[in-house]
Amino acid sequence: MRQAFIAVAAFGKMHNCVKTMSEHSEDLRLGASGPRDVTLYSRPGCHLCEEAKTAIAPFLREFRAVLHEVNVDDDPLLKERYGCDVPVIFIGRHKAAKHRVDLAQFRRQLQEAASS
């Protein structure tokens, strides 16, 4: 874990705090993702996850995007982070959807990512 020192003002006094920044392998992978990398955080048996994956598949082909599906149950940190809040979809480093996918919005987000 990396640590960053930050100053915090509380009740008119400055305090030094240590903020821990994640170096988790998944955070590093997501941080290095390009605009055509789509990450789907899911878990087995999640019907919303399967619906989301099926719904976005045509857009992935259209925009030649690569899907990285991550099972949050395989990693204690991701399981704690996402809990029951799956699916979560990122386009590159930006969260695009959570629980349900607005397909028109998802398409616009892929277009914007592809043009940047």
pLDDT in tens, 30-55: 888 898 999 999 999 999 999 999 99
- Output the pTM of the full model: 0.78
Residue 19 lies in a domain: no
Domain at 48, CATH number: 3.40.30.10
- Assess contact for 49 and 56: CB atoms under 8 A: no
Which domain, by its residues, includes 82? 24-115
Domain count, the chain: 1
pLDDT, one tens digit per residue, over 57-84 is 999 999 999 999 999 999 999 999 999 9
